[in-house]
Amino acid sequence: MRRSISRGLAACGLLPATCGLLLAAAEPLSAAENFITGTATFEVRPGPGNPAALNGVSGQKIETFRLICDRYETTIETTATVTTNGQDHALAIEQKQTETERSLEFMLTVRIDTNLILSFAGHAERTSDGLAVTLTAPSPGTLEPKGDIRLPQQSTGDVLKAARRGDHTFDFRMITGAPTTSKDGTDAFRAEIGDPRSDNQSDEEALFAAKVGGGRLQRWPVKLTLLAPDTGAPVTTLYYVIYDNGFVLGGGDDLGSLHLGYELTDFKPSPPEPCP
Pair 191, 15: CB distance under 8 Å:
yes
pLDDT one-digit tens code per residue, 59-96: 999 999 999 998 999 999 999 999 988 899 999 999 99
* pLDDT at residue 203, rounded to an integer: 77
In DSSP terms, which residues pair with 221 in a beta bridge? 241
* pLDDT at residue 86, rounded to an integer: 86
pLDDT one-digit tens code per residue, 1-57: 433 333 333 333 222 222 222 223 334 444 445 688 899 999 998 877 777 667 788
For residues 172-181, b (16+ Cβ closer than 10 Å) or e, as one string? bbbbbbbebe
pLDDT one-digit tens code per residue, 129-146: 999 999 999 999 999 999
* pLDDT at residue 19, rounded to an integer: 20
Average pLDDT over residues 241-253: 82
* pLDDT at residue 260, rounded to an integer: 83
- For residue 264, name the pLDDT band (cuts at 50, 70, 90): confident
Burial class (CB in 10 A: 0-12, 13-18, 19+), 274: exposed
DSSP letters spanning 252-266? EEEETTEEEEEEEEE
* pLDDT at residue 149, rounded to an integer: 96
**What order do you get walking across the sheet with 234-243 strand by strand?**
149-150, 169-174, 187-193, 219-227, 234-243, 248-250
- Of all residues in the chain, what percent carry a pLDDT higher than 90? 52
